[in-house]
Structure 1
Amino acid sequence: MSTNEKFVYSYSAKQQKEIEEIRAKYLPKTENKLDEMRKLDELVTKKATIMSIIIGLISTLLFGFGMCCILEWKQTLFFPGIIIGIIGLCGIGIAFPIYNYFLKKQRNKIAPKILKLSNELMEQSIKENI
């Protein structure tokens, strides 16, 4: 009585990776403290960047409009063009200090939360190393 039993096993790393990627899309999102800390830090930088870009862009447009007034309508808008251009240049000049101001303001606002999370993470890593 001989039975011919065969065991067939096939493994594809590529297929397994694809299965895991699809499965990960449907699992509930779990956010650890490090991810939360990264998001908070990124949020601070994004807000400051957006504010400075908006101010820099508006100032650049003002500067360009002032130059246009000077070059194209020199008989009627020469002096207003100079004033508008100077206002635009000042705005361009303060875009970076505004970035630093908003960055500092947002960091001070979120600092307690970041420090709390970092302390918890450091305590956790110390306990794991013991």
Structure 2
Amino acid sequence: MNDLDKVYAESVAKDYMPKETNKVRQLKKLDERAKLPAFISAMTLGIIGTLIFGTGMCFGLGVFGTGVIFMVIGVLLGIVGAAICITNYPLYKKLLKKGKEKYAFEILELAKEITGEA
């Protein structure tokens, strides 16, 4: 058995060993868990609001139809889409604050352990 075979055997064995989770990785996962729901909801709501706003612009500019009724529908859809986009950021901040409050104790304790203050 040559050295290359030994290295290969060690790398394969590493894949089957239980993985250690170090504290920095745990801290990153907790931080992500605190921030991810707010990010996902903000992106989803932002995309929906933008699509509604764009649809309203298409109606208003006569891309989907011509006439006063289509223009009124377009203006109303544009206002609804803009309102959704405007409320998106305050909602994101609120959800982010809620997520940080939920995981604050665990994150702070783990950070203290990492920095050696505990």
Equivalent residue for 1:117? 110
Structure 1 residues 100 and 15: CA distance shift in structure 2, 3 A: farther
**What corresponds to 2:3 in structure 1?**
11
Alignment match of 2:15 (pick from 25, 49, 52):
25
TM-score, normalization by structure 2: 0.78
Question: SS at 2:3's partner residue?
Answer: coil
TM-score (norm. length: structure 1): 0.72
Q: Which residue of 2 is the match for residue 54 of structure 1?
A: 44
Compared CA separation, residues 15 and 88, structure 1 to 2 (3 A): farther
The CA deviation string for residues 61-112 of structure 1, in whole angstroms up to 9 with x for no partner, is: 1112212222233422221220111111222233333322222210111001
Matched, 1:91 2:81: no
Q: Please report how far the alpha carbon of residue 113 of structure 1 lies from its aligned counterpart in structure 2 after TM superposition.
A: 0.8
Q: What is the CA-CA distance between 1:21 and the residue it aligns to?
A: 3.3
Q: Which moved more, 1:108-117 or 1:75-84?
A: 75-84
Higher relative contact order (CA 8 A, sep 6+): 2
Q: In structure 2, do the counterparts of structure 1 residues 78 and 21 end up closer, same or farther at CA, with 3 Å as the change threshold?
A: same
Match of 1:37 in 2: 27
Does 2:50 match 1:73? no
Structure whose alpha-carbon radius of gyration is higher = 1
Runs of 5+ consecutive residues of structure 1 not aligned to the other structure: 1-8
- Long gaps (5+) in structure 2: none
Tell me how many residue pairs correspond in the alignment.
115
Identity of aligned residues (%): 31
The Cα RMSD (Å) is 2.5
Residue identity in the other structure for 2:39: T
